[in-house]
Homo-oligomer: A and B are copies of this chain.
Amino acid sequence: MERDYIFTLEIAVRDYELDSEGIVNNAIYLHYLEHTRHMFCAQAGYSFSQMEADGFMPVVNRIEVDYKTPLRSGDIMLSKLWVETRGVRFIFHQDIFNKKTGALAINAIVSIVSIENGRLGRGEQLVKAFAKYL
């Protein structure tokens, strides 16, 4: 079920993120997606560095990305997300749009699990921290 976005981050393309074809390299979008998740967590009051200090290590378990319209030099993007839980996984639905044209640049589904003391955890503290967004 589609849900409304709960967080939007504006990010400007940096020229070193382009590859020799003049478009943002495919791997760089994963950086944008991660940065967006981390900024969301910080805004939600539970920063990634705090998680690490608390003994949680959120790790990416699976990622699916559809590349739609390439971003280029000078572009500004709106990176949006919503999140749900499925069992022990946090499923982030993340879409990135070209701010100027409104075109969808990529859509992505990112599955995160919580490693606690070296083992797969239930992420209960995370569920509590993000309760109002789930």
Chain A, 4-54, CB within 8 A of any chain B CB: 12, 14-16, 18-23, 25-28, 30-31, 34-35, 38-39, 42, 47-49, 52
A31 touches B14 (CB 8 A): yes
Once A16-B27, A73-B47 are accepted as A-B contacts, the answer to whether A62 and B63 lie under 8 Å apart by CB is no
Number of copies of this kind of chain in the complex: 4
Q: How far is the CA of A19 from the CA of B34 in the complex (A)?
A: 12
Residues of B contacting A26 in the complex (Cβ-Cβ under 8 angstroms): 30, 34, 59-60, 63
Residues of B contacting A67 in the complex (Cβ-Cβ under 8 angstroms): 59-63
Binding site for B on A (CB under 8 A): 12, 14-16, 18-23, 25-28, 30-31, 34-35, 38-39, 42, 47-49, 52, 57, 59-67, 70, 72-74
